[in-house]
Amino acid sequence: MSKKPLILVTNDDGITAPGLRTLIDVMNTLGDVVVVAPDSPQSGMGHAITINSTLHVEKVSIDEGPQEEYSCSGTPVDCVKFAVKQLLGRRPDLCVSGINHGSNSSINVIYSGTMSAAIEAGVEGIPAIGFSLCDYKWSANFDACMTYVKTIAKNVLEHGLDSGTILNVNFPNLDKKEIKGIKICRQAKANWQEEFDKRTNPQGREYYWLTGKFVNLDQGKDTDEWALANGYVSVVPVQYDLTAHHSIQQLNTWTFEE
């Protein structure tokens, strides 16, 4: 039996995405790798799961390296659930998701399939990391990410993470020599100013396309947005407990009786 760490690798851009292939290459140097990833892009799916249709999982072989590799018809969260509940013979020592083509900093963590896959692993008690590069192009260059991915993953394997904590790691779109290092950050307060662009198809039917502009409302120098804008890799510890603990005391002062 192998004494190497068992590492589950997934993403939301699909099993052929260059970011995923890069992440696999790095994880191959750290442990035994099993890949379960969507068979098509699933960006923006958040924590969606498949409950009203069937799932199909197919064993594939795209690159040399992973011990096993599977393509799944479901969402990123489906991939993690299937791997943990059905496929793997033991609990992974680490789950890594990405490397996403595009930023998942700030409010984007809510919508991200990449981060939701990592969070699902965290729900299962598995140390987990989501990695993203601030470049949406399919041809994005992930070379500058590789050393940092390995360093962060090695630290998690060695030290573990607090229960319920997942790491959200974002890389600036810079050459390796331009990256200044790693910053442990908080999530910046930001949002999307969105609009629905009304259009008409060739058959004359109206449809809508979601558009928007990302607006950073946070001037703090301890945020992920500041770190990325200033040439650092941002590392934000996130959690799936959404309880607003600071509001419990106030709510307990309310009267709920008629």
Mean pLDDT on 106-123: 95
Mean pLDDT on 8-21: 96
Residue-level pLDDT at 2 = 59
Is residue 232, in this structure, part of any structural domain at all? yes
For 118-169, the pLDDT digits (tens) are: 999 999 999 999 999 999 999 999 999 999 999 999 999 999 999 999 999 9
Residue ranges of E strands in 66-205 = 68-72, 94-101, 128-133, 165-171, 181-184, 190-200
Is residue 37, in this structure, part of any structural domain at all? yes
Has residue 230 got a pLDDT over 70? yes
Residue-level pLDDT at 115 = 96
> What's the mean pLDDT when you consider all of the chain?
93
Has residue 30 got a pLDDT over 80? yes
Residue-level pLDDT at 3 = 83
Cα–Cα distance measured from residue 70 to residue 59, given in angstroms and rounded to the nearest whole number: 4
- Domain extent, residue 85, equals 6-188+221-251
Mean pLDDT on 112-116: 95
What are the C-alpha distances in Å from 207 to residues 63, 112, 153, 169, 197? Answer: 40, 24, 44, 36, 8
Is residue 151, in this structure, part of any structural domain at all? yes
The DSSP call for residue 174 is -
Is residue 176, in this structure, part of any structural domain at all? yes
Is residue 212, in this structure, part of any structural domain at all? no
Q: pLDDT-based confidence at 54, cuts 50/70/90? A: very high
For 241-253, the pLDDT digits (tens) are: 999 999 999 999 9
Is residue 205, in this structure, part of any structural domain at all? no
Q: The whole model's pTM is what?
A: 0.92
Residue-level pLDDT at 213 = 82
Under 8 Å between Cβ of 75 and 49:
yes
Is residue 214, in this structure, part of any structural domain at all? no
Total number of domains in the chain: 1
Sorted by sequence, the CB contacts under 8 Å of residue 142 that are 6+ apart come out as 18, 19, 22, 99, 133
Q: Percent of the chain at pLDDT above 90?
A: 80
Is residue 1, in this structure, part of any structural domain at all? no
Mean pLDDT on 228-234: 97
Residue 156 belongs to a domain with what CATH number?
Answer: 3.40.1210.10
Mean pLDDT on 25-50: 92
Cα–Cα distance measured from residue 183 to residue 104, given in angstroms and rounded to the nearest whole number: 16
For 60-105, the pLDDT digits (tens) are: 999 877 789 999 999 999 999 999 999 998 899 999 999 999 999 9
